[in-house]
Structure 1
Amino acid sequence: MTDTPELDDRALNRATLERQLLLRRHDLTVPEALTHLVGLQAQVPNPPYLGLWTRLTRFALDDLTELLERREAVRGGMMRGTLHVVTAEDFLALRPVLQPVFERAQRGFFRRATEGLDLAELTAFAAEKLDEKPRNGTELKALLAERWPDRDARQLLYSVQYLLPAVYVPPGGTWGRGGSVPLTTVESWFGRPLPAETDPARMILRYLAAFGPASVKDVQAWSGLTRLAAPIRELRPQLRVFRAAGSGAELFDLPDAPRPGPDTPAPVRLLPEYDNLLVAYADRNRVISDEHRRITNTKNGMVAATVLVDGRVAGRWRLDPGREATAVEFEPFRRLDDTVLAAVHDEATALLALAAPDAPRHEVRVTGVAAGT
């Protein structure tokens, strides 16, 4: 029996960047990219747009907005119980698999608020009201307060948002449109119910295609599901197995998935807030150090927009929509040479052309650590 091959962080980094479409921009349509990536996190409206822009050779903001309006993509609760933009087909196929994530979260946060309440009745009431017409949180909360006047309506609303598979109705939640977005049911939006299939096997294989090689803990961190060791063990005969150098963790992958060499060049890339690359692993050392993660991740769950240099997080950035000029402000975490700074400038300039075409002026500013030589 041969020893299990080892992969160090740099080998994992290049494999991950290739799967995440970040070693080069790809000539894919938006539906093709969303399908490959198994969606993009969308806690706020704009990041999925920028996540697609940084991965595709051709992307305009309307490409995603029109897909949402045509109901071919949708914004709703998915992996980890967080909002994602995914294709309609993936929402319908994967949302039932993820239902235990939402039920566990509801119990964890709102068990006391709903103690003694028939949760099936609660979700059925909310579904009936959302079937009548899309309603935002304020409207639905008022109806819940009227139906259950002795309960905390705000916590009932949160419970419904966890327990009832629902989708957010555009144009709310599209580029530049924040605030309270109306919800409706899956049946109303798609004209068909969610399927009953809850086997996680297909979802695990999809994850490995987009994020592998990865450990059981990585798959669980990405999905929010627990106890995935058993289904992965069943899949093991059709997977390739590696071992992580250092930790020794078993890593699983699809046999024919691309794993570029560790010396493969990796371009500078600007990633949006909550990008897939930074939220999809239990062990994120393949793309970011623990030191830098403490800077980019806040205690309340925020994940900053970041800059990749040679495939790893080397700084963070933000869009500053000033009156005189719209700027990308880049804060490097270490000294960078002029070639890298020029590449960051080029990416930031292209991002500004997409995100703020009507701004009176565009600027790219470097702040924080002294950079260059």
Structure 2
Amino acid sequence: MALTWDDLAAASLARQFPSDPAPDLVGRLTETGPIQSQTARSPFLGLAARYPGTTREEVTEAYESGSVVRGSTIRGTVHTATPDQFAALGAATRVGQRTLWMRMLRLEHGTLEELWTATEAFATDWRSTDALEQHLHDWLVAREGRDDVTGQPAGRYLAFGHGGLVRRPVNGDWSGQGAPEYRFLPPATDPTLADAVRLHLRCHGPSSRQDVAWWSGLGLRHVDSVLDQVDGLVRDDGPDGRTYVDLAGAPAPRELAGVRLLPEFDALMCGYDPAGRVRFSEKAHLDRLWSGANGMVLAPLLVDGRITGYWRATGTAKRRPLEVTWFSRTRKPRRTELEAPVSALGAALGITVTDLSVEREVV
């Protein structure tokens, strides 16, 4: 019998919201996987939604100690991960982004591997974005006799985005959107694409080949090749005609009652191919949350394991109001259910919510 969307959701929720969580923050990030961090507050909120009681100070200390790191990796996005996870993401980044880099740089004499090695050698100490872009300019002029990319937005990304550099905020505020600086993080092991695919399945599965490809930035040909190399995978038919794969011995599916306030770019959205996100929400609701115009995402409201709205804590002050919006024809979150997630949000961001409004939106 084929899996239903509810079956897939329950299996994935068991990984993303473990019923028996690890005792420390690093273990918890290992359980649920890398957190997309285009917005700097997302790791704070994502961990607090899954592990209420997580504090701003706790996450900041993990960053400062290096037990978790942040850097530009798969799909050219920013992720927070453990060092081992970051190394696996880097392996996928170098393959998944290779065609884009080759098209933008049009190298005729040097190779991408030579550029990446030179960048890593330059960034053994912390370097600013400007310094890394100047290094890319100097390398291109020396090796290619030209520079067609620096000084442009794409050039700034190419200066640090190959998956080997971690970043930290210059102003020290890990939850803010301040300017970053970068340093090379040598991997403790030699990661492979199989490591990246296993990471995805362990934290997000069951997944279709399209889910793995979207999350990792790898082409379907690479995904198929890697899946063929991973032993012991479980395969089932899905509700959309796709085959879903998973690691053997996955945790038992679970229902998730109650309310959670998720961050922008949460794994329940970004861990899956767009067509596969309906395991957690209706397509119309997903379209409302994700703006095609600017690529930004409204912070999702999760009710009983379904994404049914969004929330905003407007402003930047330590004391601010919170607006919760639920979509028509979904269950309205009760104010009493919001007390715990609002408290978790406050502890994670170090803010006090002064007023709570709950409104319905017709979608």
TM-score bracket, normalised by the shorter chain, equals 0.7 to 0.9
Point out the more displaced range, 97-106 or 119-128. Answer: 119-128
Inter-CA distance 329–234: structure 2 relative to 1 (3 Å threshold)? same
The aligned residue for residue 169 of structure 1 is: 168
Inter-CA distance 173–249: structure 2 relative to 1 (3 Å threshold)? farther
Of 288, 294, 303 in structure 1, the residue corresponding to residue 297 of structure 2 is 303
Q: Indicate if the aligned counterparts of 1:43 and 1:83 stay in contact, CA closer than 8 A.
A: yes
Gaps of 5+ in 1: 188-192
Secondary structure at the counterpart of residue 327 of structure 1: strand
Letter of the 2:345 partner, please give it.
L
The aligned residue for residue 367 of structure 1 is: 359
Alignment of 1:19-58 (within 5 A): 19-21=15-17, 26=21, 28-58=23-53
The aligned residue for residue 80 of structure 1 is: 75
In the TM superposition, what whole-angstrom CA distance separates every residue of 1:15-69 from its partner, at most 9, and x where no partner exists?
Answer: 11111016x5835311111112221111121101110011114411122211221
Q: Indicate if the aligned counterparts of 1:335 and 1:369 stay in contact, CA closer than 8 A.
A: no
Deviation at 1:125, TM superposition (A): 4.8
Letter of the 2:248 partner, please give it.
P
Inter-CA distance 356–252: structure 2 relative to 1 (3 Å threshold)? same
Q: Indicate if the aligned counterparts of 1:127 and 1:164 stay in contact, CA closer than 8 A.
A: no
Tell me the distance in 2 between the aligned counterparts of 1:351 and 1:161.
31
The aligned residue for residue 290 of structure 1 is: 283
Matched, 1:16 2:12: yes
The aligned residue for residue 133 of structure 2 is: 141
Tell me the distance in 2 between the aligned counterparts of 1:339 and 1:160.
45
Tell me the distance in 2 between the aligned counterparts of 1:322 and 1:157.
27
TM-score by length of 2: 0.84
Q: Indicate if the aligned counterparts of 2:160 and 2:182 stay in contact, CA closer than 8 A.
A: no
Deviation at 1:106, TM superposition (A): 2.1
The aligned residue for residue 268 of structure 2 is: 277
The aligned residue for residue 190 of structure 1 is: none
Tell me the distance in 1 between the aligned counterparts of 2:249 and 2:189.
30
For the aligned residue pairs, the C-alpha RMSD in angstroms reads 2.9
Inter-CA distance 117–157: structure 2 relative to 1 (3 Å threshold)? farther
Deviation at 1:166, TM superposition (A): 0.9
Tell me the distance in 2 between the aligned counterparts of 1:215 and 1:152.
36
Gaps of 5+ in 2: none
Q: Indicate if the aligned counterparts of 2:90 and 2:162 stay in contact, CA closer than 8 A.
A: no
> Percentage identity across aligned positions?
27
Inter-CA distance 201–325: structure 2 relative to 1 (3 Å threshold)? closer
Matched, 1:202 2:190: no
Tell me the distance in 2 between the aligned counterparts of 1:324 and 1:355.
9
Secondary structure at the counterpart of residue 295 of structure 1: helix
Letter of the 1:293 partner, please give it.
L
Alignment of 1:152-167 (within 5 A): 152-154=149-151, 155-163=154-162, 165-167=164-166
Secondary structure at the counterpart of residue 50 of structure 2: coil
Letter of the 1:6 partner, please give it.
A
Point out the more displaced range, 88-97 or 10-19. Answer: 88-97
Deviation at 1:249, TM superposition (A): 1.2
Q: Indicate if the aligned counterparts of 1:38 and 1:86 stay in contact, CA closer than 8 A.
A: yes
TM-score by length of 1: 0.82
Point out the more displaced range, 145-154 or 269-278. Answer: 145-154
Tell me the distance in 2 between the aligned counterparts of 1:64 and 1:220.
29
Q: Indicate if the aligned counterparts of 1:325 and 1:363 stay in contact, CA closer than 8 A.
A: no
Inter-CA distance 134–340: structure 2 relative to 1 (3 Å threshold)? same
Letter of the 1:271 partner, please give it.
L
The structure whose RCO (Cα within 8 Å, separation 6+) is larger is 2
Tell me the distance in 2 between the aligned counterparts of 1:77 and 1:194.
18
In the TM superposition, what whole-angstrom CA distance separates every residue of 1:201-238 from its partner, at most 9, and x where no partner exists?
Answer: 23322322211111111111111112211321343x61
Q: Indicate if the aligned counterparts of 2:73 and 2:162 stay in contact, CA closer than 8 A.
A: no
Tell me the distance in 2 between the aligned counterparts of 1:317 and 1:339.
12
Inter-CA distance 145–197: structure 2 relative to 1 (3 Å threshold)? closer
Tell me the distance in 2 between the aligned counterparts of 1:117 and 1:312.
52
Deviation at 1:93, TM superposition (A): 4.3
Letter of the 1:266 partner, please give it.
A
Tell me the distance in 2 between the aligned counterparts of 1:124 and 1:213.
36
